[in-house]
């Protein structure tokens, strides 16, 4: 009986750790996707997240301003801007895979709220600027990083 009790205690004490460790799969992964504004403007974006031992998230992204000319099919054909993420944290309650993170780049600063798929292969999120109202979409699927 004592062995069974010990096994149950160990099992339940390990479960919360494995849930938090699940998010480590996004460490150094790149997601290719799009920023979409209400105006109809769409920009290609490559998003890379990093996670430290305390499960805090940071990273960077490359945003491409391109004119949708058919000759510009690959990432990097247009003007590329870089930005940084900081102060990111996952909400792991109720089986959520929800990331809140801040960003900063040449255009301003703001937030990204991203919902990840169960296997972390993709996310759909909303982002906005700190300086003004508005919320737009930001998505991504795991891909190979394309150089500038």
Q: Residue 22 is part of which domain span?
A: 2-143
Residue 20 lies in a domain: yes
pLDDT at 21: 61
Residue 55 lies in a domain: yes
pLDDT at 74: 64
pLDDT at 130: 82
CA distance 43 to 41: 7
**pLDDT values of the chain reduced to their tens digit, one per residue, 148 residues:** 555 444 544 444 444 443 556 788 899 999 999 999 888 888 899 999 999 988 899 999 999 876 655 555 666 567 889 999 999 999 877 677 899 999 999 889 999 999 999 899 999 999 998 877 778 999 999 997 655 4
CA distance 6 to 3: 5
Residue 82 lies in a domain: yes
Residue 134 lies in a domain: yes
Full-model pTM: 0.76
pLDDT at 77: 65
pLDDT at 3: 55
Domain count, the chain: 1
In sequence order, what E strands does the chain have? Answer: 29-36, 42-51, 56-65, 79-91, 98-105, 108-116, 122-129, 136-143
Residue 104 maps to which CATH number?
2.40.128
CA distance 98 to 32: 18
pLDDT at 93: 75
Residue 87 lies in a domain: yes
pLDDT at 19: 55
Residue 148 lies in a domain: no
pLDDT at 96: 77
């Amino acid at each position: 009986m004592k062995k069974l009790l010990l096994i149950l205690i160990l099992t339940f004490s390990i479960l919360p750790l494995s849930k938090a460790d699940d998010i480590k799969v996004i460490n150094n992964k790149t997601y290719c996707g799009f920023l979409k504004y209400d105006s109809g403007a769409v920009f290609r974006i490559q998003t890379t997240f990093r996670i430290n031992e305390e499960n805090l998230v940071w990273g960077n992204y490359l945003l491409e301003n391109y004119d949708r000319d058919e000759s510009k099919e690959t990432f990097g054909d247009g003007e590329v801007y870089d930005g940084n993420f900081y102060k990111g944290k996952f909400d792991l309650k109720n089986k959520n895979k929800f990331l809140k993170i801040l960003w900063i780049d040449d255009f301003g600063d703001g937030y990204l709220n991203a919902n990840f798929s169960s296997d972390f292969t993709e996310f759909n999120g909303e982002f906005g600027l700190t300086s003004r109202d508005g919320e737009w979409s930001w998505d991504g699927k795991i891909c190979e990083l394309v150089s500038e």
